[in-house]
């Protein structure tokens, strides 16, 4: 194969890949070094991992996981969420109605857990625009079998979601007003033994941002309902060029 020759000769794209990997390793190593020197709080996740092991390679892998899985996916998911919200103002209104039921200026963990409609709207957004591709159907796979699947397509299959599979409809996740969902047919966070270990943290992070923004601002996508997103190739499904939007502070009534 061509890539094997390139790797052997350290040439072209393989040389660039090697440089990129070295840069990421150096960044991860610097983060670990600063933690060991006491330049950060010992209450963060990395510090807790460091308290349990002295294996720098393991810690480096943890840092890289934080950078790739915990940052870009959340940003991509929030970007497409506000894209859909701009096209469905009634959902923004419903979110504000729910948020107004909680009196605290800054919602705490229990408040966020109690916001079922926000949770449903977030899951509905990720159904239509999953920020990552994962496998979680429990199918037995033989040794050495190459497996791939398309979370974006799965989230839009009529056989799974019904005739309204292309509609942004947070209510599909609610049962008697409470959130209910996240089964194996929804593979964004995987499921079962392979469920994403950062699932709950990511959900709380995104709900916190959604509540803070929707409560105080209107987000209008440039181009309105006619705006068509273009995706950039990469590890996560991010929008090419970002999301052009106008953000206006809501007037207090």
Q: What pLDDT digit, counting tens, does each position of 12-60 carry?
A: 888 888 898 888 888 888 888 888 777 556 667 777 778 788 788 888 8
The continuous run of DSSP H or E covering 236 comes out as none
Mean pLDDT (whole number) for 230-247? 81
Q: What is the DSSP string of 131-184?
A: SS----S-----TT------HHHHTT-HHHH-TTTTS--GGGGEETTEE----T
**Can you give the pLDDT at residue 108?**
86
Q: What are the φ/ψ torsions at residue 92 (nearest 5 degrees)?
A: -60, -40
Under DSSP, the state recorded for 129 is S
Domain boundaries, the chain: 1-52, 72-249
Determine how many CB atoms are found less than 10 A away from the CB of residue 40: 13
Mean pLDDT (whole number) for 148-176? 89
Mean pLDDT (whole number) for 203-224? 92
Give which of 78, 81, 77, 100 is closest to 91, Cα–Cα: 81
**Can you give the pLDDT at residue 132?**
63
Percent of the chain with pLDDT over 90: 32
The continuous run of DSSP H or E covering 220 comes out as strand 217-221
Under DSSP, the state recorded for 68 is I
Mean pLDDT (whole number) for 185-190? 78
Q: How far is Cα 81 from Cα 168, in angstroms, rounded to an integer?
A: 10
Higher pLDDT, residue 10 or 234 = 10
Q: How far is Cα 117 from Cα 127, in angstroms, rounded to an integer?
A: 15
CB crowding 74-107: b at 16 or more within 10 Å, else e? bebbbbbbbbbbbebeebbebbeebbeebeeeeb
The continuous run of DSSP H or E covering 247 comes out as strand 245-249
Task: Report the DSSP beta bridge partners of residue 117.
Answer: none
**Can you give the pLDDT at residue 148?**
65
**Can you give the pLDDT at residue 182?**
65
- Give yes or no for a contact between 198 and 52, defined as CB atoms under 8 angstroms apart: no
Q: How far is Cα 204 from Cα 195, in angstroms, rounded to an integer?
A: 16
The response to whether 142 counts as a known ligand-binding position is no
What digits encode the pLDDT tens for the residues 60-81? Answer: 887 777 766 666 788 889 999 9
Under DSSP, the state recorded for 233 is P
Instruction: Report H helices in the chain.
Output: 2-9, 13-36, 45-50, 56-67, 73-87, 89-99, 109-114, 116-128, 151-154, 158-161, 199-216
Q: How far is Cα 247 from Cα 252, in angstroms, rounded to an integer?
A: 16
How open is the CA angle 229-234-240, to the nearest 5 degrees?
A: 25
Tell how strand 245-249 and strand 238-239 pair up.
unpaired
Q: How far is Cα 136 from Cα 188, in angstroms, rounded to an integer?
A: 9
| 116, pLDDT greater than 90 | yes
Q: Give the architecture-level CATH label for domain 72-249.
A: Orthogonal Bundle (1.10)
């Amino acid at each position: 194969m061509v890539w094997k020759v390139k790797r052997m000769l350290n040439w072209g794209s393989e040389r660039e890949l090697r440089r990129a990997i070295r840069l990421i390793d150096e960044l991860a190593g610097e983060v670990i070094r600063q933690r060991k020197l006491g330049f950060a709080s010992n209450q963060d996740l990395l510090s807790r991992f460091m308290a349990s092991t002295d294996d720098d390679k393991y810690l480096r892998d943890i840092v890289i996981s934080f950078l790739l899985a915990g940052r870009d996916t959340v940003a991509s998911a929030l970007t497409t969420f506000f894209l859909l919200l701009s096209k469905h103002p009634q959902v923004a209104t419903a979110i504000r109605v729910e948020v107004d039921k909680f009196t605290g200026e800054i919602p705490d963990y229990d408040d966020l857990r109690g916001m079922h409609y926000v949770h449903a709207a977030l899951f509905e957004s990720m159904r239509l625009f999953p920020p990552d591709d994962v496998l979680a159907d429990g199918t037995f796979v033989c040794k050495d079998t190459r497996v791939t699947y398309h979370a974006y397509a799965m989230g839009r299959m009529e056989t799974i979601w019904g005739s309204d599979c292309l509609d942004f409809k947070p209510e599909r996740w609610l049962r008697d007003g409470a959130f209910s969902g996240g089964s194996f047919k929804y593979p964004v966070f995987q499921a079962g033994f392979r469920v994403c270990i950062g699932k709950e943290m990511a959900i709380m992070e995104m709900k916190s941002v959604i509540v803070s923004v929707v409560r105080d601002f209107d987000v209008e996508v440039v181009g309105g309902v006619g705006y068509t997103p273009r995706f950039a190739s990469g590890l996560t499904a991010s929008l090419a060029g970002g999301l052009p939007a106008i953000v206006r502070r809501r007037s207090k009534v």
